[in-house]
Amino acid sequence: MLNRIINSAKVAQIVCQGFLGVVLMAVAFQAAADVSLNTTVQKVESYLAEDGLRKTRLVPALEIIPGDELKYIVEYTNIGNTAVDKGSVVITDPIPADTIYLSGTAFGSGTEISFSADGGKAFSSERNLQVERNGEVVIARPADYTTIRWEFGPVLEPGQKGYVSFNVVLK
């Protein structure tokens, strides 16, 4: 049924699929630095504002249907007493199954963002990512993306916080 409502159990499954890579990266650099990660997902809801303009807002993703837009937000905090070296923090997050990445929505201040279409084996910029389709090497489409990576350039000072994010559409 195309317009089925996906209940909170299915939402939890889709959300958890996106958390796996983030959790693994937290463990990987947790040993070297005290960096805490917290991932949330919210539904992007369109509404008509009082001024008559259509706007969007983030709401809890309790029930979702195919075509709904979701925003994944990974908040990070240096909870240690020392700075994390420049370039040593990398967050890698798989794009959840049953979703398609929305081009241009990946965000991370002070980061270099790259994408993978092979499950995270190789990364490239959005405009340079290539895949093989029908025997030809072509530029990947957002539906081909499997993983997003944020590489931090600046030093992460003690207590410093921030976030990275991306949006997807539920298939």
Range of the domain at 106: 8-170
Is residue 2 one of the residues assigned to a domain? no
Instruction: Say if CB 39 and CB 19 are below 8 A apart.
Output: yes
pLDDT, tens only, 23-44: 334 334 443 458 888 999 999 9
**Number of domains observed in the structure of the chain:** 1
Q: Specify the CATH number for the domain of residue 76.
A: 2.60.40
Q: What is the mean pLDDT of residues 91-116?
A: 95
Interatomic CA distance for residues 140 and 128, integer angstroms: 8
Model pLDDT, residue 33? 59
Beta bridge partners of 39: 74
Is residue 1 one of the residues assigned to a domain? no
With H, G, I as helix, E, B as strand and everything else as coil, classify residue 9. helix
Residue 2's Cβ-count burial label (10 Å; 0-12, 13-18, 19+) is exposed
pLDDT, tens only, 93-104: 999 999 999 999
pLDDT, tens only, 137-158: 999 999 999 999 999 888 889 9
Is residue 97 one of the residues assigned to a domain? yes
Residue 5's Cβ-count burial label (10 Å; 0-12, 13-18, 19+) is exposed
Is residue 48 one of the residues assigned to a domain? yes
Q: Give the H or E element holding residue 83.
A: none
pLDDT at residue 20 tops 80: no
Model pLDDT, residue 11? 45
Is residue 85 one of the residues assigned to a domain? yes
Interatomic CA distance for residues 150 and 125, integer angstroms: 11
Is residue 64 one of the residues assigned to a domain? yes
